Amino acid sequence: MPRPYYTLASLDRGKSVGYLVKRCGELVMQLAERRFERTAVTFTQWQALIWLSAQDSHLSATQLSEDLGHDMGALTRVVDQLERRGLVRRERSRHDRRAVEIAITAAGRRQALAAKRVIVGLNNALVAPYSDTEIATLIALLQRLLAHLQRAAARFAPAGEAPPRPARPARAARREPRRKSHPGVAV
């Protein structure tokens, strides 16, 4: 077994992978939310719309909540708002009439695509200081970290609880050769 990188003496937040990833995620979310103030949907609403638009089928609220990493209460409010605006609809499951699934509407697809340019602009601003090679390396390392964390979460899931599932790749990514990573929702 290799020597551990961190020790009690050497660990500080400026070099902690966990802290740095968490802090970067928080700041990206803040930047995205600010940029979405000028759009017809919030960043959280857009995440739900873009995720639904990338699926081959409808999703249950539970599945959407897990895929986006939102608690059910918050997600229910988001779906309620989107449904009132005609961007999603709730439908009875074709497989289990007792279950309700969430489907994106044509208007929801248009809104998801229209707001996607905000994320493209944000992502380009985030990687502007880096070369293409550095960006590719960063992405590869983050994908490896994500896959490692998903495997660890699956190993340590409490008994009787389903382990977290890897994020599903978007439709466009499915046409490319399959890789071991799972990109999930773009930010």
Domain parsing of the chain, residue ranges: 16-175
Provide the β-strand partners of residue 10. Answer: none
Cβ(29)–Cβ(43) below 8 Å: yes
- Give the architecture-level CATH label for domain 16-175: Orthogonal Bundle (1.10)
- 33/43 Cα distance (integer angstroms): 5
Q: Which residue has the tokens 């229910």?
A: 76
Distance, in Å, from the CA atom of 29 to the CA atom of 24, rounded to the nearest integer, reads 9
pLDDT in tens, 10-40: 999 999 999 999 999 999 999 999 999 999 9
Name residues whose C-beta falls within 8 Å of residue 72's C-beta, 6 or more positions apart in sequence: 61, 62, 65
For 110, residues 6+ apart whose C-beta sits below 8 A from its C-beta are none
Taking only the tens place, the pLDDT of each residue in 50-100 is: 999 998 778 888 888 888 888 888 888 999 999 999 999 998 877 777 788
Per-residue pLDDT tens over the stretch 106-132 = 999 999 999 999 999 999 999 999 999
